Structure 1
C-alpha cells in the first residue's frame, strides 16, 4: 500500500510540471552522421635513440655527443641545462684534449653564456666546466676567442641581478687563474666595472662617485667591498706581471736583433747571441719600431682610474675604522676591518709597482711625483695617523663547562698590514721631490721595523714579502734622502746584520743577505758604507768560502768586494788563504754556468798579495 501510494503522488507531481514543447528540427543531410576514417597515421620517432652512433665518437653516459649537449645548454628547462653541464664536465674530465682541439669555440660560447643563467647551481657548475676548458690550453690557442669570455664577463659584472653580479667575481677568478696575461691586455674593459660594483655616479650638480650599500644582499657592504677589492688586486697583479714579462722579452730581443741605422759604425760578432737579419731603413731613426712597447694600461688611463678609486677606498676604510685614537699608538680593529685594510694596501702597492715598472723603461719620475702630490696626504691622514694596528681575534674555548661557553678575545698584530703601510710611506719619501721629512714619523717607522726584525719568528713568514719590500725601498732608494734629513739608518742596518748572523731562519736569512749584497754592490750608497756595522759585516764575508756550499753570485760579489773594499777583508783573506784555496777544490757551487771558472775566481781573490793568477 505504501509503495503504490507514493507512486500515485509522483505521477501527480509529474503532471503538474510545466511541459516544454520541443521544436521540430530538420534531419542532418545524408552523409554527415558518418565517421570519416580516411586520416593517415605516422610513427613516433625518437631520433637520439634510433640514430646510429659512430663508434669512435665521444658520448656521454646518456649516449649524447658534445654537439647535442651544447644544444641543450640553451634549453628552456633548467633541469635539462644543468644535466647537460654535468655531462659536459664528465666528458671533459676524460677527453679534454680530443674535444678542445675541435670544439673550443662552441664550448666557450655555450659555457660562458651560462654565467648569465638565472639558476645559481647552473652558473656555479658552468664555471667548473670553464676551468676544465681553460686549464689545458695555451694563451696562443685561446687568444682568438678571448673576446667572447671578456664580453660575457663584462655583462655579468654589470648585470641587474645581484646574484649574477656576485658570481661574476668567481668567473673572474677562473680567468685570472688560467689566462692572466690575456686578461691584462683587456684590463681597460674590466677595470671600470669594479667602480660600478661598489659605487654609483653622483648627480650632475655633484660630479664624482659615492659608495653604495647592499641592503638586499646576504653580504654586508664591507664583505662585498672586500670581495671586489680582492679581485681588483688580481687584475692589477696580472697587469704588473704582464708588463714585466713584456719588458724582459724586449730586453732579450734587444740582444738578439741588430737594427742598422745611419749612425751605426760596427757590430760586435763575438757575443753569445745569434744575430737576426733585419731590413735596413735609412729614412728613420726609430730603432724600436719592431718592439711592442705599448703599455696594456697607459699612464693617462691609470691617472683617471686612480683619481676615482683612491677616495672610494679611503671612504670604505673610514666606515670601519674606530674613531677614538691617539697618534702613533696601537689601534685595535675587527677582523673585517683588517681584511679590508689589507686589500686597500694591496691595491696601492700594485699601483706603485706598476708606476715603478713604467718609469724603469721611460727613465722619468713624473708618475711617482704625480702619485705623491695627489695622495700622500690622504695616506698619512687615513692610514698612518693610527698606525700600527692590532686585530681582535675571537677564539672559542674547547672546555664545555657552563662558565667557559663565552668566547675569548685576543689581540694579534696585523704585521703584514703594518709593514705594507711602512713600505708605502717609505716609497713616498724615496720620490725625488722638494720638502723635508717628518722626523717623528720616520723614527716611528724605524722603531716598528726594528722591533719586527728583532722579534721575527717562523709564524711571521706570511708577511716576509712586505718586510723585504720595505727594507729594499728604504736602503736602496730612500736612504740618501733620509740621511740628508739627518735620519740615521745605522741602527736598523745593524739589526739586519745581527738578525742575519743569528742561526739561520731560512727564508728571512736568505732575503736579508740579498739586501746586504745589493747595498755592497751599489757604489752610490756611501752613507750606508760608512756605517761601522756594515764594515764589520763585509770583513766577515770570507768565512762564506769555508762552507760546504756557496752560490755563484756570492762568489762574484766577493770578487767585487776584493777590488772595492780590499782593506776591509785583506787580513781575513790572508789569514784563511790556505784553507780557502783547499776548500775551493771541493766546495759545492750553486747556480754556476761554468763551475771551473767559479773555482778559479775563488783562488784569484788573492791576486793582490802575490800577483798570481790561476787559469
Structure 2
C-alpha cells in the first residue's frame, strides 16, 4: 500500500535543499562561534592575599595543613609521607616562620610516636629532634603534649613502641633537660615498669624485715622479647642515668633560684613560698621534682634492687696476673659505669631532697650497705677484657698484659667513680689499701690518656689522708707530686692537685711535714713562680703557704723576690686584672 501524497511531501521537507536567492542573507547556524565579543579582567581582592601557610611548602608543593591531614590516613605510606614532609618544612624554615604552627604540628605529629609502623615512629622522633633544635624554648607551652605521649609510649602494649620511646627520651634529655625533669614523678615509674614486673608472694622480701633489700620487683625475662636482652637493659640504664642527671640539675637550679632559709627549712621542710611574679612562681611549682621524700624513697626501693639484679648477669672474671682486680667485657664496663652513675645521682638527689647527708638516711643506706653492693665493691679495680678484633680498633689504648688472643685495658673513669662512691658508703681498711695502691699507680703513670675525673681523684685523696697511716699517706703525696710535675704549668687540672699539698701541710697532718716529697713539691712551686707561668689557683696556694709560715717556702720566695715579681708582672695571670695581681704579689713577697 503506497503512502499518501502528504507523507511524501513531509519527507521531502526534512531533507530539502535550501535554495539561495539573490539579495537575501543566509541564516546563521545554531553552532556558530561568535567572535565579536569584548573581554575585560575581573579582579578579586581575595586572590591578592597570600595564604599564611603557602610560604611553608615542601618540594612537592604540599603545605602544613595537607601534610597534617595525611597523618590520620589508613595507609602507612601516606602517613610516612606526611611526617617526612613536616620534617622537611622544619629543616628548611626559620624559627619565626615555624612558631605560629607549633601547636598544630606538635598535636598532629605526637600520636605518631606510638604508630605501629617503625619508619613512622623513627621519622616522628627525628621531627621532634629537629623541631626542638630549631625553636628552642618556644616549645615549652606545648611540652606537656610531648611528655604525655612519651609516657604513653613507655607503657604501650607494643614492645617495639616501648623500645623506641627511649630514643625520644634521649632527644628530650639532651635538648630540654629542664622541661623533661618536671615530669619525673611519672616517667621514673615508667622506667621501672619498662624493665621489671611485680614479684609473686613467694619471691617477695618485704620491707618490714630490717637490713633487707626489697625484691618486690624482678627483671623481665623472655627469650623471645628483645626488651629483656642485656644490651637493651644497658640502653635503658644509660637513659635513666641521663634523666636523673637532668633532674639533679633542675633541682639545683630551683634551689639557686629560690634559696632556702634556715627557718623555712625547719618549719616547712619543702620549697618556700614564692612571692615573685606569676611566671617565676609557676615554673618553681612545676620544677619541684621529688619535693616529697616519700616519692624518692619509693623509687629507690624499686630501682636499686633492680640494679643489683642487672649486675648479677654480668660475667666477672679474675685477672690472671699480678695486677689484681677483675676483668669485664665491654658491655660489662658500660653496665658498671651506669650503675655507679645512677647510684651517685640518687645520692646527690637524696641530699637535696631531704636536706641532710644521705649517710644519715636509714632507708637509703639499707639499700647500699647490703651484701649485693659489697659484691660490686669487692671487684675493685676493674679492667676491660679486649678480644683480638677489639685490639685492632683500639690500637692506641695502653695494654696491661697480652696473653693469647686477649689483652686488658684500664677503666680509670669507672674505677675512680666507684672508689669515690665506696669512700662515701664505707671506709674499710681493706678497701683503703686497695684504693691507695690503685690511685698511686694511676697518678704516677704519665702514659695513660687521663680520661678520669681528676677532681674526683683529689676528693678521694683528701678523704683518705684523714684515715690512712703515715706510710700510705706518704705514698699518696708522692704520687700526687709526680702527677703535678707531669702536667704543663698552665694546665687547669694541675691546680686541683695543689689541694693535696695544702692538706699535707696543715695542722691536721703534722705527720706528713717531714715527708721528702713535700719539700720537693715546695721547690717546684717556687720554680713555677720564678718562671712566671702561674694561674690564680697557684698564686692563692702560695699565699696560703706563706700565711702558714712554712720556713723553706718563705726563704725561697724572699730569695727570688725580685725575679718572681718581674716575671709575673710581665706575663700576667690569666683571668686576673694587673691591679689584683699586684695586690697578691705584695702580700706574697712582703718581709
Q: TM-score w.r.t. structure 2 length?
A: 0.76
Residues 590 and 225 of structure 1: CA distance in aligned 2, closer, same or farther (over 3 Å):
same
Give 1:179 shift: 0.3
| Structure 1 residues 126-151: Cα deviation after superposition (integer angstroms, max 9, x where no partner) | 11111111113343x33322211111
Give 1:100 shift: 2.7
CA contact (8 A) 1:233 1:346 kept: yes
Q: Say whether residues 1:381 and 2:364 are aligned partners.
A: no
CA contact (8 A) 1:75 1:81 kept: yes
Residues 423 and 328 of structure 1: CA distance in aligned 2, closer, same or farther (over 3 Å):
farther
| Structure 1 residues 57-114: Cα deviation after superposition (integer angstroms, max 9, x where no partner) | 3222222211221222222111111111111111111113134320111222222211
Counterpart CA distance in 2 for 1:210 and 1:447 is 37
Counterpart in the other structure of 1:604: 587
Counterpart in the other structure of 2:95: 97
Counterpart in the other structure of 1:230: 238
Counterpart in the other structure of 1:444: 434
Counterpart CA distance in 1 for 2:117 and 2:165 is 13
Counterpart CA distance in 1 for 2:171 and 2:271 is 39
Q: Say whether residues 1:581 and 2:568 are aligned partners.
A: no
Which of the numbers 55, 60, 63 marks the counterpart of 1:62? 60
Counting only pairs closer than 5 Å after superposition, residues 445-484 of structure 1 correspond to structure 2 as 445-459=435-449, 461-462=450-451, 464-465=452-453, 467-475=454-462, 477=463, 479-480=465-466, 482-483=467-468
Counterpart in the other structure of 1:174: 171
Q: Say whether residues 1:558 and 2:542 are aligned partners.
A: yes
Counterpart in the other structure of 1:266: none
CA contact (8 A) 2:317 2:327 kept: no
Which of the numbers 190, 198, 210 marks the counterpart of 2:218? 210
CA contact (8 A) 2:220 2:228 kept: no
Residues 246 and 457 of structure 1: CA distance in aligned 2, closer, same or farther (over 3 Å):
farther
Q: Say whether residues 1:82 and 2:80 are aligned partners.
A: yes
CA contact (8 A) 1:113 1:152 kept: yes
Secondary structure in structure 2 of the residue aligned to 1:584? helix
Counterpart CA distance in 2 for 1:539 and 1:235 is 47
| Structure 1 residues 420-461: Cα deviation after superposition (integer angstroms, max 9, x where no partner) | 2212111224xxxxxxx43222101211111222224353x3
Q: Say whether residues 1:197 and 2:180 are aligned partners.
A: no
Counterpart in the other structure of 2:110: 112
Counterpart in the other structure of 1:392: 385
CA contact (8 A) 2:436 2:472 kept: no
After TM superposition, the structure 1 stretch with the greater mean CA deviation from structure 2, 511-520 or 195-204, is: 511-520
Counterpart CA distance in 1 for 2:271 and 2:411 is 50
Counterpart CA distance in 1 for 2:437 and 2:504 is 25
Counterpart CA distance in 2 for 1:156 and 1:528 is 61
Secondary structure in structure 1 of the residue aligned to 2:179? helix
CA contact (8 A) 1:521 1:557 kept: no
CA contact (8 A) 1:85 1:122 kept: yes
Secondary structure in structure 2 of the residue aligned to 1:351? helix
Residues 325 and 541 of structure 1: CA distance in aligned 2, closer, same or farther (over 3 Å):
closer
Secondary structure in structure 2 of the residue aligned to 1:391? strand
Counting only pairs closer than 5 Å after superposition, residues 416-565 of structure 1 correspond to structure 2 as 416-429=413-426, 437-459=427-449, 461-462=450-451, 464-465=452-453, 467-475=454-462, 477=463, 479-480=465-466, 482-483=467-468, 488-502=472-486, 504=488, 510-517=492-499, 520=502, 526-527=508-509, 530-531=512-513, 532=515, 533-534=517-518, 536-538=520-522, 540-565=524-549
Secondary structure in structure 2 of the residue aligned to 1:559? helix
CA contact (8 A) 2:347 2:358 kept: no
Counterpart CA distance in 1 for 2:371 and 2:507 is 31
Structure 2 gaps of 5+ residues are: 1-46, 205-215, 276-283, 393-403
| Structure 1 residues 8-32: Cα deviation after superposition (integer angstroms, max 9, x where no partner) | xxxxxxxxxxxxxxxxxxxxxxxxx
Counterpart CA distance in 2 for 1:586 and 1:537 is 25
Counterpart CA distance in 1 for 2:359 and 2:487 is 44
Counterpart in the other structure of 1:163: 160
Counterpart in the other structure of 1:243: 251
CA contact (8 A) 2:489 2:534 kept: no
Give 1:218 shift: 4.4
CA contact (8 A) 1:521 1:560 kept: no
Counterpart in the other structure of 2:307: 313
Counterpart CA distance in 1 for 2:97 and 2:76 is 25
CA contact (8 A) 2:116 2:161 kept: yes
Counterpart CA distance in 1 for 2:500 and 2:272 is 31
Q: Say whether residues 1:153 and 2:137 are aligned partners.
A: no
Secondary structure in structure 1 of the residue aligned to 2:569? coil
CA contact (8 A) 2:557 2:589 kept: yes
CA contact (8 A) 1:584 1:599 kept: no
Counterpart in the other structure of 2:19: none
Counterpart CA distance in 1 for 2:496 and 2:126 is 41
Residues 528 and 246 of structure 1: CA distance in aligned 2, closer, same or farther (over 3 Å):
farther
Which of the numbers 344, 350, 364 marks the counterpart of 1:349? 344
CA contact (8 A) 1:479 1:489 kept: yes
Counterpart CA distance in 1 for 2:549 and 2:274 is 43
Counterpart in the other structure of 1:340: 335
What RMSD, in angstroms, separates the aligned Cα atoms of the two structures?
3.5
Q: Say whether residues 1:331 and 2:318 are aligned partners.
A: no
Counterpart CA distance in 2 for 1:358 and 1:542 is 45
